[in-house]
Amino acid sequence: MRTTHVDDVVLSQGGFIMKMSASSVDTPVRRDVAYYTIKPGDTVQSVAGRYGLTLDTLRWANNIADVTSVVQGQRLVVPPVNGILVKVQPNTQLSGLAIQYHVKIQDIIDFNLIRDPDHLKPGSMLMLPDGVGPSLADPGIGKKTVRSVTWNRFGPLVTNYTITYSNAA
């Protein structure tokens, strides 16, 4: 089929005119980490949306358990795509990262343009596209809580009893 392109309209040999959609144009994928400084009125959700990321991706990249804890002036790491951003440690293996974060090894290699998967540079950052990070606890979960209950026992002798319990390990 022969086509003639005029701006964003395609005229096919059969005489049909088709408008090209914006989604048919390839846009380059951002591979670098960006940084964003929280401004008045910003939320973690709004920043994630601005960059086309999920809330979890932004939370994982910045270790944010409580999304209400971000403050004006705080600088956030913004990964290039959804997933997990990790810092390579000595002896890091892609197979271990793939298992831990539920991502395919080849996806890690392709996104990060890794030439030698057996020799990763410690200290470098890797993006694990569509990786799944740890569950980030809601506020209060994982925080130490101590409670005490005191009561009196009446009888020939008045005795005070106290039980203290904690959720901390």
Domain annotation covers residue 11: no
Report the number of distinct structural domains present in the chain: 1
Determine, yes or no, domain membership for 20.
Answer: no
* 28 located within any domain: no
1 occurs within a structural domain: no
CA distance 120 to 135: 27
Please tell me the distance from the alpha carbon of residue 110 to that of residue 102, in angstroms, as a whole number. 16
Q: Domain for residue 115, yes or no?
A: yes
Tell me the angle at which helices 94-101 and 105-112 cross, rounded to the nearest 10 degrees: 110
Tens digit of each residue's pLDDT (9 = 90 or more) over 24-77 = 456 677 889 999 999 999 999 999 999 999 999 999 999 999 999 999 999 999
Is 84 within a domain? yes
How many other CB atoms are found less than 10 A from the CB of residue 104? 14
In whole angstroms, give the CA distance from residue 138 to residue 89: 28
Q: Is residue 103 part of a domain?
A: yes
In-domain check, residue 149: no
Determine the pLDDT at residue 28: 74
Element (H, E) at 47: helix 44-50
Q: Are 129 and 108 in contact (CB under 8 A)?
A: yes
Render pLDDT for 69-113 as a digit per residue (tens, 0 to 9).
999 999 999 999 999 999 999 999 999 999 999 999 999 999 999
The domain of 88 spans: 34-129
CATH classification at residue 101: 3.10.350.10
pTM of the model: 0.64
